[in-house]
Structure 1
Amino acid sequence: MKVRILGCSGGIGGRHLGTTAILVDDDILVDAGTGVTNLPLAELARIDHVFLTHSHLDHTGSLPLLIDSVADLRTEPVIVHAIPETLDIIGRHIFNWEIWPDFSAIPSEERPAMQYSPLTVGESVRLGARKITALPARHTVPAVGYQLDSGAGSLVFTGDTTVNPAFWPLVNQIANLRYLLIETAFPNREQRLAEMSRHLCPRLLAAELQNLSARVEVFVSHLKPSQIELTMAEIESDAGAHKPQMLYNNQVFEF
């Protein structure tokens, strides 16, 4: 399994900053933030499955444009996997004919350009030898993270989340876990805002990582563009025992 980071920022502000989008091999997306725009049309057309962590714009904003751009290049619909609450939100607020056409019904209901596929926390979707499992997350809207399992190894992405006791026992049971991608959106001086918006700051990240029993590489995503250096310095100070590294666009994991 080859995982390429197309976007991992908490905002925009240059070619090196794109919001969350992760390409798995050449046919799966995890989230569809602005990082998707880094792909040329031919690569976009090869995406068969999109797994959404939640409905917020920085994770879904490129999905409508992606579907529209590739609809006439494909013979099968793009399958959008998410928990029912997320599918309901994007159906009511994005693909509603007011913000964007409802591609789950066009060009026809019999042959749509997009198809919804609901999943539940703990459920796995098998695509060939690959297994993608929804993990619990705690955010301001219903949300999940994902385990990407090639059989030989696993990568876990928390999605947007805050302090989450239900997450760690499941992660610690993954025998082949190699990588953990975990969010930290705010520096410590904005801990109250982090808690209100159900994100992490370095102090909260350090406490959360105390629950991690596996020896894995930890990477931090969702940093606010104007506060990257401060937040990473605080992460090194507060959570340095786990040696978290900053996640970068175009970073590749193979396992």
Structure 2
Amino acid sequence: MQLYVLGCSGGIGGAARTTSLLLGERILIDAGTGAGELSLDALCKIDHVFLTHSHFDHIACLPMLLDTVIGARSRPVTVHALPETIAALQAHVFNWQIWPDFSVIPENGNGVLRWAPLAVGESRDLDGLRITALPAQHTVPAVGYLFESPTGALAFSGDSADCPAFWETVAGVDRLRGLIVETAFSEREAGLARVSKHYSPSTLLAALQRFDATIDVWLTHLKPLDAARIVAETSNGIHRISALVGGQTLQF
């Protein structure tokens, strides 16, 4: 299985795109502005979207994706997410004021959007891949995800402050090939990271002390103005840490 990085930035500007990852051809993980990198044909192939949480940088392109593909689909796009995330999107986005309710159009009972509530620890099996919702700690209800193929696994933190339950879960995963973990702020904004429940380099490195140093760690969600600083501050000479980049492909 391969994961293709459509967007992995904590902001926009130039080539920066916010979080969206493509698994195979049919599955999106989050639908930030990176999803806009997909061609029309590729957008029409998306059958499943797994959301980590309801913040705009992770859902920005979901309304436009649905609007774009509605005339090309005979079955709905299934959006998997926590019940709280679904409720937030129903109340504040798909409410006929910000955007139409695509769960009832083109007609009620045959909408192009289907909601699929997902609980922490619950798995979905799709295309020979198992996707499991992992614990996270953020300012809104949130999850990370574990992706398992027959040959390996990748873990993704989503947006989260340090979450011991996340690390305990991924430490027990067989054939773990790598970890994608957000580190939104540099140390000069460590206070903002704490308030907004994100990692900064010091909290990430402290968490990684519990983790196998032979596993590759990719940083995501870096704020564009501080990206180089964050990479420098997370280099500890022990763990294999590098920044995720748009257009990158990870095999597992």
Q: Shared topology, TM-score over 0.5?
A: yes
Tell me which residue corresponds to 1:12.
12
Structure 1 residue 127: Cα displacement: 0.9
Q: Deviations over 1:230-253 (max 9, x none)?
A: 1111111xx431121000001001
Q: Deviations over 1:13-41 (max 9, x none)?
A: 11x21000000000000000000111111
Picking from 230, 237, 241, the partner of 2:238 is 241
Displaced runs of 4+ in structure 1, greater than 4 A?
A: none
How do 1:68-217 and structure 2 match up within 5 A?
A: 68-213=67-212, 215-217=214-216
* % identical aligned pairs: 49
For the residues of structure 1 that align with 2:181 and 2:196, how far apart are their CA atoms? 16
Q: Deviations over 1:127-178 (max 9, x none)?
A: 1321000000000000000001112101111000001111111101101110
Q: Deviations over 1:175-203 (max 9, x none)?
A: 11101000000010111110000001101
SS in 2 for 1:135: strand
TM-score (ref. length: structure 1): 0.97
Structure 1 residue 210: Cα displacement: 1.0
SS in 1 for 2:238: helix
- 1:119 and 1:30, CA in 2 relative to 1: closer, same or farther beyond 3 A? same
| Structure 2 unaligned spans of 5+ | none
SS in 2 for 1:126: strand
Amino acid of the structure 2 residue aligned with 1:50: V
TM-score (ref. length: structure 2): 0.98
For the residues of structure 2 that align with 1:145 and 1:159, how far apart are their CA atoms? 4
| Structure 1 unaligned spans of 5+ | none
Tell me which residue corresponds to 1:46.
45
Amino acid of the structure 1 residue aligned with 2:224: P
Structure 1 residue 214: Cα displacement: 6.5
Amino acid of the structure 1 residue aligned with 2:194: E
Number of residue pairs matched? 252
For the residues of structure 1 that align with 2:121 and 2:229, how far apart are their CA atoms? 35
For the residues of structure 2 that align with 1:157 and 1:240, how far apart are their CA atoms? 22
Q: CA RMSD in A?
A: 0.9
Amino acid of the structure 2 residue aligned with 1:194: A
